[in-house]
A and B are shown apart, each in its own frame.
Chain A
Amino acid sequence: AQSVTQPDIHITVSEGASLELRCNYSYGATPYLFWYVQSPGQGLQLLLKYFSGDTLVQGIKGFEAEFKRSQSSFNLRKPSVHWSDAAEYFCAVVSYGGSQGNLIFGKGTKLSVKP
């Protein structure tokens, strides 16, 4: 069955430090992968997506992610975290036979930023 695993429930980093959020997926074919961010009480905002081609994808707000098929991973990175990055981050994959509107999400990683 298709699934997305985000191993870290909560991560705390210092402002200015680098960040890596982990995402592993289980999918039988070439996956379409996404990272979304959710601020408290808000909806989801798309940070970046991977469909094919270059395995390193750039997103908004200085985020990037690298697709590694051999590891079934799609980790999110940012070289220098800002206090405004504190939020919950969700990795998602398109469901079989689905469209970009039919996504399977991980349980999320909550990011806290220390001053």
Chain B
Amino acid sequence: DAGVTQSPTHLIKTRGQQVTLRCSPKSGHDTVSWYQQALGQGPQFIFQYYEEEERQRGNFPDRFSGHQFPNYSSELNVNALLLGDSALYLCASSLTGGHRFNTEAFFGQGTRLTVV
């Protein structure tokens, strides 16, 4: 059973560019959450997608946007990249399935984004 997979694993972008990161959830999961982990910090919640809609959002600017597809996979888009966007971006999947609280969240290995 494949777990949460993220692509690409590493990415280097220039300031001002746009980037798209991808996530495939664990089989059977319907909810995807994205986190940003700066060097030496804990992960920070960006947003969560369920039923192809953004369900919750953390304290991130509108430059950060996302999408969830009918197969539950998800993309994270960041526009107008800043040097401060350099971080490990983690995707986590879980199962909502009609309940308020999800099952346990499983994390992918992350995408390391470097902005130069």
A contact residues vs B (CB 8 Å cutoff): 4, 32, 36, 41-46, 49, 90, 92, 94-95, 97-108
B contact residues vs A (CB 8 Å cutoff): 4, 31-33, 40-45, 48, 56, 90, 92-94, 96, 100-110
Chain B residue nearest in CB terms to A98: B56
Query: 6 smallest A-B Cβ distances: which pairs?
Result: A105-B42, A43-B107, A101-B33, A99-B102, A44-B107, A100-B102
C-alpha gap A46/B32 in the complex (Å)? 16
C-alpha gap A43/B42 in the complex (Å)? 12
A98 to chain B, nearest CB (A): 6
Q: A43-B4, A44-B107 are in contact. Are A100 and B40 (CB under 8 A)?
A: no
25 A/B residue pairs, CB under 8 Å, sorted by A: A4-B42, A42-B110, A43-B90, A46-B104, A46-B106, A94-B101, A95-B45, A98-B56, A99-B48, A99-B56, A99-B94, A99-B102, A100-B102, A100-B103, A100-B104, A100-B105, A101-B33, A101-B92, A101-B102, A103-B43, A103-B45, A107-B40, A107-B41, A107-B42, A108-B42
